[in-house]
Chain A
Amino acid sequence: MTLEVLEGSKAVSDVIGLCKPDVISAYPITPQTHIVENLSEMVADGKLKAEYIRVESEHSAASACLGASLTGARTYTATTSQGLLLMLEVLYNISALRLPVVLTCANRAISSPLNIWCDHQDAITLRDTGWIQLFAEDIQEAVDMHIQAYKIGEDKRVMLPVVISMDGFLLTHTFEPVEVPSEEDVDRFLPKYNPKYFLTTKNPMTFGSFAEPDKYMEARYILNEVLNQSKVVIAEVARDFKDAFGRFGGDLVEEYNTKDADIVLVGMGSIISTMKEVTDELRKRNNRIGVLKIRSFRPFPDKEIVSCLKDKKKVIVVEKAISLGFGSILASEIKSVLYNSGAAPRVDSFIAALGGRDISKETINKIIEKSMTEKVDLEFVDLNRDILPEDFSE
């Protein structure tokens, strides 16, 4: 194994190159740019034989991927934030047409106020689109996830698009020692894309029909079923990947010191690494505390969550997005799967790091301390009341 110190975006673009997409289509937006710039260079240097469509908007980037994928090509795009929102309509269409497009979301906050830094509000917006949504904890996992994404999405049992969330700047612009696998190993792991149905004059088919009320619901039912059934494939591919490359970042979830834990922290993305460090330190002082990493946000790992959390005393969810007018999203979903399971540990909910506010080990410690002393229905971590207008300053 050779470790190289690589920027997250460089590592991801290198691995996308190894997955050999036939068509790449993207529109620039910070902090996704380094990924698509690197891919442009690979195409310009002849290192990657792909058609690179430099579109006039993210809406068209997603649409070009849709058209290319439906013609039988392996496709790739990357975006974030406003770009992801502009794509949204097309993303619904891509999943319903059962096209295994792979998209990297360099997670970033949503305007207004304009903010280019990391949170998960963008990716969370895809919650109901029918895409498989994976969240990477670190650069290595982002690298590994992209290879897995093609394998999962293109599996005949699945045929769905996959979005990989990697935290903007925190993972896209930082450097870590990572292993980018060899071309031979990726080729062996990832077979060529070979769809059963595609646009061809040899077998003319109609795609994108309209369905009346007596047919539409069945189409949505099938999509929901397939997405749920993809859990098996996500887990299978994670295990196959471990066999092939020796690395395992979890399947639908990763449980970290949860077996004997009384308290479990839950999160998604790069915050998990910080949570792991903090809980390691707390364990040295005999605190039985663990971490549950949600690796697949869609399909939602309901059984895995219940199995991990049902006997715990306390669950602490820290998330980087909010459903305005309601509150937490991840914590609410966790509560909802626990509620009907008959097991209901106390779930405390923290909204943190919106718009890139730093989460340090101290922040996580503070969250745990607060959760130990009181029941926290919804807390905005590190909210600076001094800069709030008078009406909001309590």
Chain B
Amino acid sequence: MSDNILASGHTACAGCGEALGIKLILNAAGPNIIVANATGCSEIFSSRYPESAWGIPWVHSLFENTAAVASGIEAALKVLGRESEANVIAQGGDGGMADIGFGALSGMFERGHNILAITLDNEAYMNTGVQRSGLTPLGARTTTSPPGELSWGNITPKKDMPQIAVAHGVSYVATATVAYFKDLEKKIKKALTIKGPKYIQVLVPCPLGWQHDPSLTIRVSKLAVETCIYPLIEIENGKLTNVVKVTSKKPVEEYLKLQGRYKHLFGREGANEHLAKIQAIADENAKRYGLV
């Protein structure tokens, strides 16, 4: 790895999967990139005035407009004859890209901008204190989907953003996670060879929000794949072209029990029914994408 595009000295938490994800993504993509970044942890830990961790041209505008800002950047490069200068990347968390910024992202997709959109998916609004997002998985505790007498955590499964991107006709859609860093790098590089909109969703564990030890970030990331909870896939022109195969599929409990956000699913009467629902999601992923 050469010079990091995301310099050290930023203020991310120990074991931050998002900071690691960004470093891997940008080193694979850079240095000829321009990045539009949504409001969120990544912007906060990297850009406290007068310091900056970014070694590339970078803009943070607002929470929900990142894909639209990137659209403007791409259009400007085109009309000014600077298209060859840089690849444009729009990145943000699951809240910024898949919830509040979803309209802007959808517009960016359907207009066919030559932009790589990246969702750094840590499965909740971490910067504001771990509130539920549309990408929070079934059963997870967040501060707005707490378990309680009448609750088993988040009541809905994750919104299927990769398939939503596919439905837009996005020609390259992929998922990745930090533990599989070679796979992640390969996908970033491949995406940038394709003209038009691209979407990559990267699972980035958040020790603070997921309530796991900071030393376990890579292990948790790896288990998400090995349990088939987070399938690593590539969909090109609407067709599934590649998956990261799981040689020995592990039960979801192995992934869940490392994380405090699922603590309520262990040792409580009636928990098995809820664990079974999560296992069913993993099983369905395995079947749907031929992971095993």
What 1/0 mask marks residues of chain A from 37 to 61 whose CB sits below 8 Å from any chain B CB?
0000000000001110111110111
B75, CB-defined interface residue at 8 Å: yes
A90, CB-defined interface residue at 8 Å: yes
CB pair B58–A68 under 8 Å, yes or no, is no
- Cα distance A199–B36 when bound, in Å? 10
Closest to A49 in B: B79
CB pair B71–A204 under 8 Å, yes or no, is no
CB pair B65–A201 under 8 Å, yes or no, is no
CB pair B56–A204 under 8 Å, yes or no, is yes
CB pair B72–A69 under 8 Å, yes or no, is yes
Q: List, in ascending order, chain A residues with CB within 8 A of B67's CB.
A: 60
B54, CB-defined interface residue at 8 Å: yes
Q: Which of B102-110, B116-124, B194-202 contacts A (4 or more CB under 8 A)?
A: B102-110
List which A341-387 residues lie within 8 A (CB) of chain B. Answer: none
Which of A53, A57, A208, A215 is B75 in contact with, Cβ under 8 Å?
A53
- Cα distance A376–B220 when bound, in Å? 71
CB pair B68–A71 under 8 Å, yes or no, is no
A15, CB-defined interface residue at 8 Å: no
CB pair B72–A208 under 8 Å, yes or no, is no
B239, CB-defined interface residue at 8 Å: no
Q: List, in ascending order, chain B residues with CB within 8 A of A207's CB.
A: 58-60
Could you say which interface size class chain B belongs to?
35 or more
List which B42-89 residues lie within 8 A (CB) of chain A. Answer: 43-44, 47-50, 52, 54-62, 64-65, 67-80, 82, 85-86
Closest to B72 in A: A67
A115 to chain B, nearest CB (A): 26
CB pair A209–B68 under 8 Å, yes or no, is no
CB pair B52–A71 under 8 Å, yes or no, is no
Chain B CB within 10 A, most for which of A62, A66, A70, A208: A208
Chain B CB within 10 A, most for which of A53, A54, A64: A64
List which A168-206 residues lie within 8 A (CB) of chain B. Answer: 199-206
B111, CB-defined interface residue at 8 Å: yes
- Cα distance A22–B75 when bound, in Å? 9
- Cα distance A70–B57 when bound, in Å? 11
B34, CB-defined interface residue at 8 Å: yes
B29 to chain A, nearest CB (A): 12
CB pair B107–A57 under 8 Å, yes or no, is yes
CB pair A63–B34 under 8 Å, yes or no, is no
Q: List, in ascending order, chain B residues with CB within 8 A of A73's CB.
A: 72, 75-76, 79-80
- Cα distance A67–B104 when bound, in Å? 13
- Cα distance A168–B47 when bound, in Å? 41
- Cα distance A70–B62 when bound, in Å? 14
CB pair A68–B60 under 8 Å, yes or no, is no
Could you say which interface size class chain A belongs to?
35 or more
CB pair A212–B79 under 8 Å, yes or no, is no
Q: List, in ascending order, chain B residues with CB within 8 A of A90's CB.
A: 61-62, 65
CB pair A206–B52 under 8 Å, yes or no, is yes
Q: List, in ascending order, chain A residues with CB within 8 A of B37's CB.
A: 208
Q: List, in ascending order, chain A residues with CB within 8 A of B49's CB.
A: 209-212, 215
Chain A CB within 10 A, most for which of B33, B65, B74: B65
CB pair B104–A63 under 8 Å, yes or no, is yes
CB pair A89–B62 under 8 Å, yes or no, is yes
A25, CB-defined interface residue at 8 Å: yes
Closest to A218 in B: B49
B155 to chain A, nearest CB (A): 29
CB pair B85–A67 under 8 Å, yes or no, is no
B241, CB-defined interface residue at 8 Å: no
List which A104-135 residues lie within 8 A (CB) of chain B. Answer: none
CB pair B52–A51 under 8 Å, yes or no, is no
Chain A CB within 10 A, most for which of B43, B71, B110: B71
Q: List, in ascending order, chain B residues with CB within 8 A of A93's CB.
A: 61-62
- Cα distance A260–B58 when bound, in Å? 57
Chain A CB within 10 A, most for which of B34, B55, B73, B75: B75
CB pair B107–A60 under 8 Å, yes or no, is yes
- Cα distance A61–B111 when bound, in Å? 13
Which of B43, B52, B71, B85 is A55 in contact with, Cβ under 8 Å?
B71
A13, CB-defined interface residue at 8 Å: no
A175 to chain B, nearest CB (A): 32
CB pair B62–A205 under 8 Å, yes or no, is no
- Cα distance A30–B182 when bound, in Å? 51
Q: List, in ascending order, chain A residues with CB within 8 A of B110's CB.
A: 56
B92 to chain A, nearest CB (A): 13
B114 to chain A, nearest CB (A): 12
Q: List, in ascending order, chain B residues with CB within 8 A of A61's CB.
A: 68
A165, CB-defined interface residue at 8 Å: no
B214, CB-defined interface residue at 8 Å: no
Given contact pairs A55-B68, A57-B103, A210-B47, A68 touches B56 in the complex (Cβ within 8 A) = no
Given contact pairs A209-B48, A210-B44, A210-B49, A63 touches B62 in the complex (Cβ within 8 A) = yes
A77 to chain B, nearest CB (A): 10
CB pair B79–A51 under 8 Å, yes or no, is yes
Which of A25, A50, A59, A206 is B72 in contact with, Cβ under 8 Å?
A25
- Cα distance A224–B37 when bound, in Å? 27
CB pair B57–A201 under 8 Å, yes or no, is yes
Q: List, in ascending order, chain B residues with CB within 8 A of A50's CB.
A: 79
A140, CB-defined interface residue at 8 Å: no
- Cα distance A89–B33 when bound, in Å? 27
19 interchain pairs, CB-CB under 8 A: A22-B76, A49-B79, A50-B79, A56-B106, A60-B71, A63-B62, A67-B75, A67-B76, A68-B73, A71-B34, A71-B72, A73-B79, A201-B85, A206-B47, A208-B47, A209-B47, A209-B52, A209-B60, A212-B48
By Cβ-Cβ distance, the 7 closest A-B pairs, closest first, are A67-B72, A56-B107, A63-B68, A71-B76, A63-B65, A60-B68, A68-B72
Given A53-B75, A67-B76, A206-B59, 17 more pairs with CB closer than 8 A: A23-B75, A49-B79, A50-B79, A51-B79, A59-B65, A67-B72, A68-B72, A70-B73, A71-B77, A200-B85, A200-B86, A203-B57, A206-B52, A206-B54, A209-B47, A210-B47, A215-B49
- A residues neighboring B (CB under 8 Å): 22-23, 25, 49-51, 53-57, 59-73, 75, 89-90, 93, 97, 199-212, 215
